[in-house]
Amino acid sequence: MPRDFAMQELFEELPAPQPAARVLVDGLNDMVLDYAIPAGMQGVTRGSRVEVPLRARSATGTVLALVQPEPEWAGRLRPLRRLVNEEPVVSPALMDLAEWAARYYAVPVEQMIRCIVPEPVRQERHEEKTRKVVVLQDWPDDDTLNKINRRAPRQAAILRYLHASADKREPLVDLGGSPALAPCRALEKAGYVRIEEEAVHRDPAGAEVFAPTSALQLNEEQAAALQYINSVFDSGGTQPILLQGVTGSGKTEVYLQAAQRAMEQGKGVLILVPEISLTPQTMARFKGRFANAPGSVAILHSAMSDGERFDEWHAIHRGKARIAIGPRSAVFAPVQNLGLIIVDEEHDSSYKQENSPRYHGRDLAVLRAKLEGASIVLGSATPSLESLYNVQQGKYTMLRMDKRADGQRLPLTRVLDMRSEPKDKRNLGILSERLRMAIDERLTKGEQVILLLNRRGFARALQCPECGYTANCEHCALPMTYHATENRLVCHICGYRQMVPNRCPECHTANITLEGYGTQKVEAVLRRCFPQARMQRVDADVTTRKNALRDILADFRAHRTDILLGTQMISKGLDFPGVTLVGVLNADLGLNIPDPRAAERTFQLLTQVAGRAGRGDLDGEVIIQTYNPQAAAIQFARRHDTDGFAETELELRQHMNFPPYCHMAVITARSEQEELAALAMETLHKHLLAALPPQVQLSTPLPAPLAKAYGQFRYQCTLKAPGARILSDICSREIAAMNCGEGVVISLDIDAYSFM
């Protein structure tokens, strides 16, 4: 036989080299190590969670890929210790999403994996909760039962209780708990009962019961929107659909019926909402509609306990829950066979995470839909200018619903100029006479009122009129807010608290005064003006208790509350048919900040909260109090003119080269020593000037608008570029090359939403 044929046969007989697992080790910021896969360990693949040896200890990590080891390392790699989960925890599509997001937002892949696999799952500190259940096996005859009753009355009582039960099984806790275990063991030994271990799902909804609902009759606009969404879904299309519907147009019913279509075809559904406060209402609607459908509805958010998150995440991952609902972090929910993604209130800035990794939930939802071949609907009454621009560019498809589903008119909106409003000692200039009379009229009729003030606390600042002293936070360059309920000054950035001084610390005068007002002060004024009204305040100070917000909103929906006063968390998505009046106090708050999106956010906030009025059988009214009535955002909101505002604002953005006509990034250097932060920012600025291409605009390094926070001084520069990848690639490289030394931290925010 020729020599080359013999060699060929020899190589064909040799086994293929055993691949190694390339593992991203938890907690080590992108440390990737290769490990051998032991013989007999089955199921190791991309996305698997594994336990690995790391020096003298064990660690966990995620398999990024299966690779062929380098020849010099063949046979020398340390083996994996065990497979943590039998099936891969991270799907290939979510792995692709994590790797894309890590590069786009210039963060370690390990940070994105942490988003995908929540800590209760990652750390394995929680297991499925179980309980003992007693099942009736055999029912004794009357004589035997009487003998048992004479000898052991507790055992007889348990037998009778089980016999009366509809399904002949009861949890041990319902039979008396631990004291009942011994009699049950005796009955089990006699063959009358069987004791089993049963898994208990820790449901964040608790014992709440959801009333079943059925599909509603759609109006013409709703039916047309649903028909288009279903046609895209049926064809496997992934082009995003922007559903622009005025407040009360019935977008939620369209979502529900689109989800029904997806469920009927065996697909999973992901619903994103901007705030945790909206999750209970959305959950109630979906659980009510799909209570009898195969699979269940699961929710994911940070306010849940670790055990609840563990159970809900695994219910989604195992396919037991086919609908997942949650805020931005739920974009990573492991929904099986994903077919439809719905992003409600897509314009909301809450979808942008403000700490690392600084991803945008809506944008990642669009990418995930493309990766998984799912349809995606972005819904809003006031779409973001980025989404409207994408419609203009042909990237998104626009659907419109311009009429309310119940045929009611949009509320009449009045703008009141507070500069000409006389000061009233009773309400301290907080309530105009027109608004006060309107509230009184609604209360007389038994109707409900919503009041919005986007500032919590009692007073904005503590000031001395004699010397000008202001009580600022020791750790932040910001005045402290007075909170009457605690009688403390509180920093709304870092949470620092201090006693209220009786005299000015500078000039020692006793005339130190409170300036401005927040929700606590408004509540005090309202209780003085309307002592008979049932009132509830909603802000971050009163919703710290679990389910507190859900309970407050449930009381309001049940007409156990007349006036609901709150911050922006009550401005969107909530449906209360009894509300006929909405009042906005100090509508200028959002306009007076250094942010290119300030006008857009103000317009959206006013339009959204105005949409809470008149959603039932009665007409609604909105009263906006402002010191700047001619502001474009306020005037367009008064007319509910989303198109007019978008046209005007987009023209201004294009002229100023602001998003969506560019991508913006913010680089921040922070340090406890101001000189170090300034030096680091100036040094990095010089390096960037040399590295960035001409089409990138780089601002001069300056102190941040919030010059100090959490005890650290902050310096910033902003960048504008036609593409985000230019910014993320070059900036991350230059930041990594910087030798700032200890005490200086540099952060990069791609597609920034906060410029403070």
In a domain, 572, yes or no: yes
360 to 274, 331, 749: CA distances (angstroms) = 11, 10, 11
Q: Are residues 91 and 194 in the same domain?
A: no
Secondary element (H or E) of residue 580 = strand 579-584
Tell me which of 122, 148, 167 is where a domain ends. Answer: 122
Q: Are residues 152 and 83 in the same domain?
A: no
- Tell me how far apart the alpha carbons of residues 228 and 214 are, in angstroms, rounded to a whole number: 21
Q: Are residues 628 and 694 in the same domain?
A: no
- Tell me how far apart the alpha carbons of residues 394 and 388 are, in angstroms, rounded to a whole number: 10
pTM: 0.86
pLDDT of residue 128: 67
pLDDT of residue 132: 82
pLDDT tens figures, 453-502: 988 888 888 888 888 888 889 899 888 888 888 888 989 888 889 898 88
- DSSP calls for 671-735: ESSHHHHHHHHHHHHHHHHHHS-TT-EEPPPEEEEEEEETTEEEEEEEEEES-HHHHHHHHHHHH
- Tell me how far apart the alpha carbons of residues 348 and 383 are, in angstroms, rounded to a whole number: 9
Least confident of 10-19, 80-89, 303-312, 609-618: 10-19
- The total number of structural domains in the chain stands at 6
CATH code of the domain containing 34: 3.40.1440.60
- Tell me how far apart the alpha carbons of residues 535 and 548 are, in angstroms, rounded to a whole number: 15
CATH code of the domain containing 690: 3.30.70.600
Q: How far from the centroid of its chain's Cα atoms is residue 256's Cα?
A: 20
Tell me which of 70, 102, 122 is where a domain ends. Answer: 122
In a domain, 674, yes or no: yes
pLDDT of residue 299: 87
In a domain, 142, yes or no: yes
Buried b / exposed e along 198-234 (16+ C-beta atoms within 10 A) = eeebbebbeeeebeebeeeebbebbeebbeebbebbe
**In which domain, by residue range, is 496 found?**
459-516
- Residue 114 or 242, more confident: 242
Q: Are residues 25 and 109 in the same domain?
A: yes
Secondary element (H or E) of residue 750 = strand 744-750
pLDDT tens figures, 100-126: 999 999 998 888 988 998 887 776 655
pLDDT of residue 730: 93
Q: What is the mean pLDDT of the chain?
A: 87
pLDDT of residue 296: 82
In a domain, 13, yes or no: no
- On whether the CB atoms of residues 19 and 26 are closer than 8 A, the answer is no
- Tell me how far apart the alpha carbons of residues 272 and 255 are, in angstroms, rounded to a whole number: 11
- Tell me how far apart the alpha carbons of residues 90 and 83 are, in angstroms, rounded to a whole number: 13
3-class secondary-structure state, position 666: strand
Q: Are residues 578 and 635 in the same domain?
A: yes
Q: Are residues 649 and 577 in the same domain?
A: yes
pLDDT tens figures, 53-79: 988 888 888 898 888 887 777 778 888
Greatest mean pLDDT range, 7-11, 57-61, 357-361: 357-361
Tell me which of 170, 200, 230 is where a domain ends. Answer: 200
Secondary element (H or E) of residue 103 = helix 92-104
- On whether the CB atoms of residues 580 and 383 are closer than 8 A, the answer is no
Q: Are residues 497 and 566 in the same domain?
A: no
Q: Are residues 584 and 642 in the same domain?
A: yes
Sign of CA dihedral 408, 575, 403, 588: positive
In a domain, 472, yes or no: yes
In a domain, 285, yes or no: yes
pLDDT of residue 7: 47
User: Residue 111 has which token pair?
Assistant: 């940070």
In a domain, 416, yes or no: yes
- Tell me how far apart the alpha carbons of residues 187 and 144 are, in angstroms, rounded to a whole number: 13
Find where tokens 């009898």 sit: 292
Q: Are residues 395 and 422 in the same domain?
A: no
In a domain, 211, yes or no: no
pLDDT at residue 380 is higher than 90: yes
Q: pLDDT-derived band of residue 10, with 50, 70 and 90 as boundaries?
A: very low
- On whether the CB atoms of residues 721 and 727 are closer than 8 A, the answer is yes
pLDDT at residue 719 is higher than 80: yes
- On whether the CB atoms of residues 252 and 285 are closer than 8 A, the answer is yes
477 to 337, 471, 707, 711, 743: CA distances (angstroms) = 49, 10, 6, 9, 19
- Tell me how far apart the alpha carbons of residues 529 and 536 are, in angstroms, rounded to a whole number: 15
pLDDT at residue 13 is higher than 60: no
CATH code of the domain containing 266: 3.40.50.300
Q: Are residues 511 and 522 in the same domain?
A: no
Find where tokens 């909170």 sit: 483
Q: Are residues 561 and 546 in the same domain?
A: yes
Q: Are residues 508 and 528 in the same domain?
A: no
Average pLDDT over residues 265-289: 87
